[in-house]
Chains A and B, each alone.
Chain A
Amino acid sequence: MTRDEIYKKVQAVLVDALGVDEEEVTPNAVIRDDLGAESIDFLDIMFRLEKAFGIKIPKGEMMPEGLANDPNIVQNGVFTPAGLAELKKRMPFSDFTVLEKDPKLDNMSKLFTVDMITKYVESKLNAPAA
């Protein structure tokens, strides 16, 4: 499956899960800020991606969890340099431009874009079978 084919399917998943128009789901659209997703929608999106692509998404793999409670990662609502490095390792498909300029925890949501999900799914589909 080409990246464009994956993108089209991801787009359809997001239209169904979030009730948005297809035109709104652009590669750079931020899932929360631009498409209006709430926290519960992320589980819905993961279920729908698993079904659409026949993949398994382990807890915390696409969207890292529990980072805010680790003082090595986040201090006073801001990512530490080590935390930012850890996040980059865990989310290799995200664009960190905004977070590097302003490493506030609140800005973490900007890492979840349509393009990031597309690349994540692509990596799952291309991963060698276990």
Chain B
Amino acid sequence: MRWIWIDKFTEFTPRTSATAIKNVSLAEEHLHDLYPAFPIVPHSLIVEGMAQTAGILVGEARNFEEKVILAKIGKATFHRLVRPGETIIFNAKIEQLNEQGASISGTVNVGTDLVAEIELMFSHIDQNMAGIEFPEHNFVFTEQFTELLKTYRLSSSITL
């Protein structure tokens, strides 16, 4: 299984904001694990979807040269459950970005319904204050993630 919780980007403004969607299918096994006979998307995976949307936005801002790690969930307020057959929309906005990391504010919607408000903080771990060293290769932005952005750029440049 691939650990990707967004299907595609629908908007991407470098260093500013990004929107991604995920279509929720009843075929996804994890939906059935939380409450038997009442499949919903776990809140933790909604946060993960936002982290992936925002993480790629933060990574792209520095040409994927930094290892961008989700460091802190400042806020995650949920207003509604997400059920199979629905499309989750992740809207992420960069509030602050510097050499050490970034702070993000985000909203999650299904259609016009507000599902969640999420604030995240990302760290560029090679710039950590503790001076801890990490492997040289970028283990965060694997091809799985960068392909999402390539697909968006390709599709947005094609006019049928």
Looking at the assembled complex, report how far the CB atom of A71 sits from the nearest CB atom of chain B, in whole angstroms.
15
B128 CB within 8 Å of chain A: yes
Flag A41-68 by CB within 8 Å of B: 1 or 0 each. Answer: 1111011001100000001000101101
- Contact A39–B128 (Cβ < 8 Å): yes
- Contact B131–A69 (Cβ < 8 Å): yes
Question: Which residue on chain B has the smallest CB distance to residue A64?
Answer: B129
Secondary structure dominating the interface of A: helix
B95 CB within 8 Å of chain A: yes
CA distance A123 to B127 in the complex (A): 26
Looking at the assembled complex, report how far the CB atom of B101 sits from the nearest CB atom of chain A, in whole angstroms.
5
- Contact A43–B96 (Cβ < 8 Å): no
B99 contact set on A, CB distance < 8 A? 59
- Contact B96–A65 (Cβ < 8 Å): no
Given A50-B96, A51-B96, A59-B100, CB of A43 within 8 Å of CB of B123: yes
Q: Select which of B71, B96, B131 is within 8 A of A40 by beta carbon.
A: B71
CA distance A9 to B143 in the complex (A): 43
Looking at the assembled complex, report how far the CB atom of B74 sits from the nearest CB atom of chain A, in whole angstroms.
7
Q: Select which of A17, A39, A69 is within 8 A of B129 by beta carbon.
A: A39
- Contact A44–B74 (Cβ < 8 Å): yes
CA distance A46 to B72 in the complex (A): 14
- Contact A43–B131 (Cβ < 8 Å): no
B27 CB within 8 Å of chain A: no
B103 CB within 8 Å of chain A: yes
Q: List 28 A-B contacts (CB under 8 A).
A: A16-B74, A17-B74, A39-B128, A39-B129, A40-B71, A40-B72, A40-B121, A41-B72, A42-B129, A43-B100, A43-B101, A43-B123, A43-B129, A44-B71, A44-B72, A44-B74, A44-B103, A47-B95, A47-B96, A47-B103, A51-B95, A51-B103, A59-B98, A59-B100, A59-B127, A63-B129, A68-B131, A69-B131
5 closest A-B pairs by CB = A47-B103, A40-B71, A39-B130, A47-B96, A44-B121
